[in-house]
Amino acid sequence: MTQDAPATGSGAPPAPGAVGSAPGAGTPTPLTRRQLSAWRNALFVIFAISGVALSSWVSRTPVIRDMLGASTAQMGWIVFALAVGSIVGLTLSTPALTRFGPGRTMTGAITVGALGIVITGVGASTLQSPLPVVLGLALLGAGMGMTDVSMNVDGAANERALGRTVMPLFHAAFSLGTMAGAGLGALAELADVPVSVHLTVIGVAMVVTILISVRYLQPHPDLPPADSPESAAVPHGWRARLAIWRDRRTVLIGLIVLGMAFAEGSANDWLTLAMVDGHDVTNATGAFVFGLFVTAMTVGRVAGVFLLDRFGRVPVLRVSAVSAAVGLCLVIFGPNPVIAGIGVVLWGLGSALGFPVGMSAAADDPATAAGRVSAVATIGYFAFLVGPPSIGFLGEHFGLLHGLLLVLVLVAVAGMVSPAAREPKGARHGAH
């Protein structure tokens, strides 16, 4: 296909209101390959800047704690504001997407998140008060939660339009963004850059990035224009959203995302400490092992696009669950750090695809994509809410390595319910 040839993604004519349609028009205007690629690339940037934002805050957490003079327990409550804000953002994402579409929703959400990260930095280093930090983290969480749903809905639409698997690459971009944000945070720490200056620069970069990137997104791909006859067929209101939560497939996809998000989040929170305390390695070695995990996840997401197109979602998810389970067993029961390191690689590879595949599966039906992605993401975010304290509690009583057995159970559940993510009949990418 030439660069400017029209592309609809599946070869079939798009429905009214599909990608490229003009508001109120009955016949959509097909997008060129160049437009589809620009849309995809803009989403790569949006996923990446989201990762940069979150890891920038995380990278300065120790110095913020010192500035506030907060205890570990107090920091736990301060960080909890981020999680609460995220749940609020997830809850508001569906009506916002329905009313404004992904582009405008992401612009507003990232702007709110940018305001939040600036308030966090100023509150910590200039005001040295926990209240503005809590407010800032709540705004950051709300903005990033709403952005998470919006960019996944838009990413799934772009994936359908391109006719091949792309979602794992979007999430790989997010992972690369977290690595870049962590690196920038480390450099800021070494250079003694004030937290307020560092996080303000990140906030400005977030706003500039979204204002540029949103120009390359396409009109809301999953809902017909509000004034069109087709709009009446699209579910609206709280009753429709409640029906989505009652849908068995949505809940099962949520369990897949929950298990794999738990696997990812537990490594972020506890892997380094588990290696140091459980396998008697140095702090530097523990940090290196965590780097192995992040690298394995990134590689898994990049390789996943080819595996998913070739084998489909269900076999890949089953193998992923087995890989993560075997890796966890090697980490928990391995006799030495080398075996545990091999386990970490398998754990990272196995955890890579659950979240992005769950997002794609939740968005299979364009008309209900926003609501289902929001529901699945909320279930997944539950892992980030309860994961750290649950493993911490188990680790306090049974040791951190044995505390990870909870992750093993949830990964096994994710593998068992993986058929819920099966592609719609005849819709597997690369199969046409």
Query: What mean pLDDT do residues 41-47 have?
Result: 97
- Do 189 and 244 share a domain, yes or no? no
Residue 7 counted as domain residue: no
Q: To the nearest whole percent, how much of the chain has pLDDT over 70?
A: 84
- Do 195 and 258 share a domain, yes or no? no
Give the number of domains in the chain. 2
Least confident among 225-229, 255-259, 390-394: 225-229
Instruction: Give whichever of 51-55, 121-125, 201-205, 248-252 has the largest mean pLDDT.
Output: 201-205
Read off the CATH number of the domain in which 145 is found. 1.20.1250.20
- Do 243 and 385 share a domain, yes or no? yes
What's residue 268's pLDDT? 74
Q: How confident is the model at residue 49 (pLDDT cuts 50, 70, 90)?
A: very high
Given a cut of 80, whether residue 240 has pLDDT beyond it is no
Q: How confident is the model at residue 241 (pLDDT cuts 50, 70, 90)?
A: low
Given a cut of 60, whether residue 223 has pLDDT beyond it is no
- Residues facing 7 on adjacent strands: 31
Given a cut of 50, whether residue 363 has pLDDT beyond it is yes
- Do 299 and 353 share a domain, yes or no? yes
What's residue 236's pLDDT? 52
- Do 205 and 94 share a domain, yes or no? yes
Q: To the nearest whole percent, how much of the chain has pLDDT over 90?
A: 39
Helix axes 195-213, 33-59, angle to 10 degrees: 170
Query: Which whole-number Å values give the CA distances from 310 to 90, 236, 329, 431, in the listed order?
Result: 32, 36, 28, 8
- Do 273 and 196 share a domain, yes or no? no
Residue 192 counted as domain residue: yes
- Do 78 and 168 share a domain, yes or no? yes
What's residue 13's pLDDT? 35
Decide: helix, strand or coil at residue 13.
Answer: coil
What's residue 16's pLDDT? 34
Query: What mean pLDDT do residues 140-154 have?
Result: 92
Residue 68 counted as domain residue: yes
Q: How confident is the model at residue 25 (pLDDT cuts 50, 70, 90)?
A: very low
Helix, strand, coil % in the chain, rounded to nearest 5 = 80, 0, 20
Q: Are 51 and 173 in contact (CB under 8 A)?
A: yes
Q: How confident is the model at residue 242 (pLDDT cuts 50, 70, 90)?
A: low
- Do 273 and 173 share a domain, yes or no? no
- Do 210 and 279 share a domain, yes or no? no
- Do 51 and 187 share a domain, yes or no? yes
Q: Name the amino acid, one letter, at 78.
A: I
Structure tokens at 422: 């099966």
The answer for residues whose C-beta is within 8 angstroms of residue 112's C-beta and 6 or more apart is: 139, 142, 143, 146
Residue 119 counted as domain residue: yes
Given a cut of 80, whether residue 220 has pLDDT beyond it is no
- Do 244 and 165 share a domain, yes or no? no
Structure tokens at 221: 């791909």
- Tokens 């939660």 belong to 145
- Do 78 and 46 share a domain, yes or no? yes
Residue 307: which domain range? 237-422
Q: Could you tell me which residue, 382 or 229, shows the higher pLDDT?
A: 382
Residue 232 counted as domain residue: no
